[in-house]
Amino acid sequence: MAAFGAASAGAGPLSGEPLQPLPLKAPDQNPAIVHLGKRLFHDPRLSKDNAVACSSCHAMELGGADGQPKSVGIGGSVGDVNAPTVFNSGYNFVQFWDGRARSLEDQVGGPIHNPKEMASNWTEVLAKLKVDAAVVAESRRAFGKEIDIEVIQRSIAAFERSLVTPNSRFDRYLLGDQVALSETERRGYREFKMYGCSSCHQGANVGGNMFQKLGIMHDYFADARKTRSLTEADRGRFNVTKQPTDLHVFRVPSLRNVELTAPYFHDGSQRTLEEAVRAMAHYQLGRKVPSAHVNDIVAFLRTLTGELPKVEGP
Amino acid sequence: MSTRKRFAVLIGAALSLILLGGVFAMSFVFDPQRFADGFIRMQNFDLLDTTVDMNLLQASSGLSQNYDPIVKSTDALRTALEGIHAEEEGEGEAYTLPLQTLIEKAEQKLLLIERYKSLNSTMKNSLNFLAGSPLEKLFARVQYHVTFPDLQSRESVEELVGDLGRKQPSLSRDEIRSLRDHALFLLDNAPVRRDLLQQITALPTHELARKLNGKYGDDFMLMQQRLGLSRRLLFVMSTILIGAIAYLLLAQEQLITHQTRSLRQQTVEIQSNLDRLKEAQSQLLQSSKLSALGEMAGGVAHEINNPISVIMLMADEIRDLGDAPADRAELGRALDKITSTAKRIATIVAGLRTFSRDGTRDPAEFFPVETMITETLSFCAERFKSHGIRLEVLPFDRALQVEGRRIQLSQVLLNLLNNAYDAIDGTASPWVRVEVNLVDGHLRLSVTDSGSGLSPETEAKVFEPFFTTKQVGKGTGLGLSISRGIVESHRGRLFVDHGLSHTCFVVELPGARMIDAQAA
């Protein structure tokens, strides 16, 4: 729906583009619900030892992610995948690298129960939150009821939906402002399309609207095995569907604000944008991309950084 | 209109009201809009489903780098499916299974489309890459194979791929390897994509949606018919009900008019009865007055007869007298007697004239009680005497005066005396006694006769108008009630004294006092 809505919003001067601008405003939502969501998003009581909050791995000041190859959860345990950004996550068609949650609401429970992330459960979390008068009061005001699983899911999802980054230079370019991008950046965009990046990184979120196998033209995991052992997470969507065709299939990540969210890929193996572009060209497109083009494309990718959401401290 | 008839109409109205309520409630059950919504949902879903299919076909041959049309239409289809899912529960049992089947098949379809989308994107990239290379023949054959992935077209591609690197000196080894990889990738995946497409199009979402669409349509028509029927019923019921109510109201109105009329008639009758009664009453009063007058006239006749006899006697004596001196003296004595007797008659007539006056409007004044008694007795003393009834007035203080209308109070006393006379006339040794006392500033005037008192029944009614114990034609039954009225208008009381063995009527009047006759 998000991609569809964005498509109709992109009826700017540049039409027929595979990429579309983000809506200028986050969807209308009850401010009381968003406020409670913000509070809970930053609340470490969602974890077993009261040390890890959602914001621990999805920091507002780190592009909605954590800058780590793989996130560090409770007790210093290292997670399975690179933390995807929370920004614009409402425009993704599914959540998680393997797409196992259809909605942000469904997603909330995942990290809370993951033993390497928050290692908690609903009963524990609710027991802790129910004795906090401020949280109880906010729940009553926002939902007219006591805090429960639904309240936590809906409020955190609402807060996440409010985290949008509109009005990037690239969006202004799409909307007709030709000088919003430099010549290099415009060339980078042309090459981005020409090499076929936009076959998957498309729509308003520049990705996040389809699944794709990692290693279409060359075997990514055969190469990865040379430097590390494969993990369960490397199986990707197979873990969800158990279909052989879904082995190593992941949700195509959004490239919005991509310059802020290094390192890259589900395993956090690519430290820079240049590395990531080269890897993508090799494994996904089966192409050798000259350095000049890589630089152009990276220049273009940096124009995808929008206005970051202003979130006052919790 | 009879009560039974009205009752029947009332029952009928109540029944049609209940029926009306039922039909009204049913008109909510018959909700064609719900089915119209479902009809449109299914039509919309089928349309989007068709669009998705068309986009799938288009995407499989297109090279466009535009925004993937599959993504757009698939998102729309998913939204439509969520709408169907949200309404699923409220649609009733007949819809549960087909809707569930449709949702299940559509979900399968969307999953397959995800895979198709992924595969299609990468194949498009490979095709684009080949299209941009100088190997036009390879591109043409690959494109043909991608569209018709059979063995023959595959072999035609493989033939060219085998020759790669030999006939293209302008291309680097890396480039040739890339081109080969992409061509082989397309060879491998074209049948996969075709199978996926076949799987997708084999899913019976269209049939299910159209069947549901038809079902919704049928139910819509059915509900529309039922709603029309219930509306007609509602109209008929309402008409009946309104008719019944109007009928009842009209009947009620008629009843009221009728009752009012008869009530008015009754009032008129009562009024005329009352008028007649008043007339009779006033006639009676008149006759009572006449009767009192008659009684008085009897008394007066007695009173006057005697002096007249005296005068006639004296006249005879005078005729027999001579001129003798003794006779002369006798003549003077006789003439004196005649004069005094005539005077007495004049006094009685004067009293009669006074007494027969209506004293109702006379001003109240103090007067000597003795005068009133003497005056009254002068009308009846002779009658009592001639019937052998002893009438005595016990001695009392002559200075005693009372305030009131003298003539009215005389009438009361005369009435009491007349009643006593009637009661005891013809009994053995009859007597009547008049007593006058001053008690605590009140005049107490009692008339006691030799009778043995009143029976309780008589006493209870004795002051009621028209009550009488006298023979028909003798009494009017108004004497005592009028007397009591007079006494009460003097703020006094007229009552029977039971303390005695004889009949005793008592008049009590306030404003009595002793006044020295000389001083007054």
CA distances from B103 to A217, A226, B106, B120, B220 (A): 35, 45, 5, 25, 22
Residue type, A198: S
A14 touches chain B (CB under 8 A): no
A chain contacts of residue B78, beta-carbon cutoff 8 Å: 1
Query: Cβ–Cβ of A4/B174 closer than 8 Å?
Result: no
Residue B368 DSSP symbol: E
In this complex, do B65 and A286 lie within 8 Å of one another by their Cβ atoms?
A: no
Q: Specify whether the CB–CB gap between A94 and A140 falls below 8 A.
A: no
The answer to whether B182 contacts A286, with C-beta atoms less than 8 Å apart, is yes
Q: How confident is the prediction along chain B (520 residues), in pLDDT tens digits per residue?
A: 567 877 887 787 788 778 778 877 777 777 788 888 888 899 889 888 888 888 888 777 666 666 777 888 888 898 899 888 888 877 778 888 899 999 999 999 998 998 998 898 889 889 888 988 888 889 999 988 988 888 898 998 988 888 887 777 778 888 888 899 999 999 999 999 999 989 998 999 999 999 999 999 998 888 888 888 888 888 888 888 888 888 888 888 888 889 889 999 998 988 888 888 888 777 766 666 666 666 666 666 767 777 788 888 888 888 887 777 778 888 888 888 888 888 878 877 776 666 666 666 778 888 899 888 888 887 778 778 888 899 999 988 888 899 988 888 888 888 888 888 888 888 888 999 999 998 888 999 999 999 888 888 777 777 776 667 766 555 556 678 778 888 888 899 999 888 788 889 999 999 888 886 554 4
DSSP code string of B193-241: HHHHHHHHHHSTHHHHHHHHHHHHHHHHHHHHHHHHHHHHHHHHHHHHH
CB contact under 8 A, A19 and B67: yes
B51 contacts in chain A (CB < 8 Å): none
CB A122 within 8 A of CB A149: yes
* CB B161, CB B180: distance < 8 Å: yes
CA distances from A257 to A300, A304, A305, B40 (A): 11, 5, 4, 41
Instruction: Choose the mutation target among A197, A198, A202, A210 for the interface with B, i.e. most B CBs under 10 Å.
Output: A210
Q: Among this protein's residues, is A150 annotated catalytic?
A: no
Task: Flag whether residue A200 sits within 8 Å of chain B, measured between CB atoms.
Answer: yes
Residue A7: predicted pLDDT: 41
CA distance B141 to B135: 10
Q: How far apart, in Å, are the Cα atoms of B377 and each of B187, B304, B414, B517? A: 162, 14, 8, 21
Is residue A11 less than 8 Å (CB to CB) from chain B?
no
Please judge whether A286 and B76 are an interchain contact, meaning their C-beta atoms are less than 8 angstroms apart: no
The dihedral sign for the CA sequence A186, A190, A193, A196: negative
Question: Would you call A211 an interface residue with chain B, using a CB distance cutoff of 8 Å?
Answer: yes
Burial pattern A151-187, b for ≥16 Cβ within 10 A else e, equals bbbbbbbbbbbbbbbbebbbbbbbbeeeebbeeebbb
How far apart, in whole angstroms, are the C-alpha atoms of residue A71 and residue A80?
8
Q: Does B181 touch chain A (CB under 8 A)?
A: yes
Residue of B nearest to A102 (CA): B78
| Beta-carbon separation of B174 and A3 below 8 A | no
Question: Are the C-beta atoms of residues A68 and A58 closer than 8 Å to each other?
Answer: no
A238–chain B Cβ distance below 8 A for any pair: no
Which residue of the set A17, A61, A105, A117 is catalytic? Answer: A117
- Picking from A16, A210, A213, the nearest residue to B71 by CB comes out as A210
Interchain contact B193–A (C-beta under 8 A):
no
**B124 CB within 8 Å of a chain A CB:** yes
Tell which B residues from 53 to 92 touch A, by Cβ distance under 8 Å: 65-68, 71-72, 75-76, 78-79
**What digits encode the pLDDT tens for the residues A83-119?**
999 999 999 999 999 999 989 999 999 999 999 999 9
A16 touches chain B (CB under 8 A): yes
By Cβ distance, the residue of A196, A245, A286 closest to B181 is A286
Vertex A250: Cα angle to A247 and A254 (nearest 5): 170
Those residues of chain A that have pLDDT short of 70 are 1-13, 312-314
Q: How many residues does the structure list for chain B?
A: 520
Whether B110 contacts B77, CB under 8 Å: yes
DSSP conformational letter for A214: S
How far A114 CA sits from the closest chain B CA (Å)?
26
Mutate to test the interface with A, among B48, B52, B56, B65 (most CBs of A within 10 A): B65
Interface subset of A 258-277, CB within 8 angstroms of B: none
In total, the C-beta contacts within 8 angstroms joining chain A to chain B are 89
Cβ burial, residue B256 (10 Å; 0-12/13-18/19+) = exposed
Nearest residue of B to residue A204 by CA position? B67
Q: How many residues does chain A have?
A: 314
Q: Which residues of B touch A195 (CB under 8 A)?
A: 125
> Quick check: A285 contacting B, CB < 8 Å?
yes
Å from A104 to nearest chain B CA? 16
- Classified as helix, coil or strand, A167 is coil
Cβ–Cβ contact B125 with A under 8 A: yes
Which 8-state DSSP code applies to residue B373? H
The residues pairing with A211 across neighbouring beta strands, listed in sequence order, are: A251
Task: Name residue A101's beta-bridge partners.
Answer: A95
DSSP three-state, residue B288: helix
The whole-angstrom distance between residue B284's C-alpha and the CA centroid of its chain comes to 48
Contact B79 A284 (CB under 8 A): no
Report the residue of chain A nearest B108, measured CA to CA. A241
- Write out residues 109-138 of A within 8 Å (CB-CB) of B: none
Query: Which residues of chain B have a CB within 8 Å of the CB of A209?
Result: 68, 71, 75
Instruction: Flag if B67 and A7 touch (Cβ within 8 Å).
Output: yes
Nearby residues of B394 by Cβ (< 8 Å), 6 or more positions away: B433, B434, B435, B436
Residue with tokens 């669409």: B213
Q: Is B365 helix (H, G, I), strand (E, B) or coil?
A: strand
pTM score over 0.90: no
Nearest-by-Cβ selection for B115 from A217, A245, A286: A245
CB of B114 within 8 Å of any CB in chain A? Answer: yes
Helix (H/G/I), strand (E/B), else coil: A96? coil
**Which residue in B has a C-alpha nearest to residue A286's C-alpha?**
B178
Answer whether B178's CB lies under 8 Å from A285's CB.
no
Check CB contact under 8 Å for A7 and B182: no
**Beta partners for A78?**
A72
Q: List, as one string, the DSSP characters of B420-462.
A: HHHHHTTSSS-EEEEEEEEETTEEEEEEEESS----HHHHHHT
Place of tokens 């064609």: B32
Q: What strands lie across the sheet with B442-449, from one edge to the other?
A: B390-393, B431-439, B442-449, B503-509, B493-496
CB of A196 within 8 Å of any CB in chain B? yes
Instruction: Tell me whether residues A4 and B125 touch, CB distance under 8 A.
Output: no
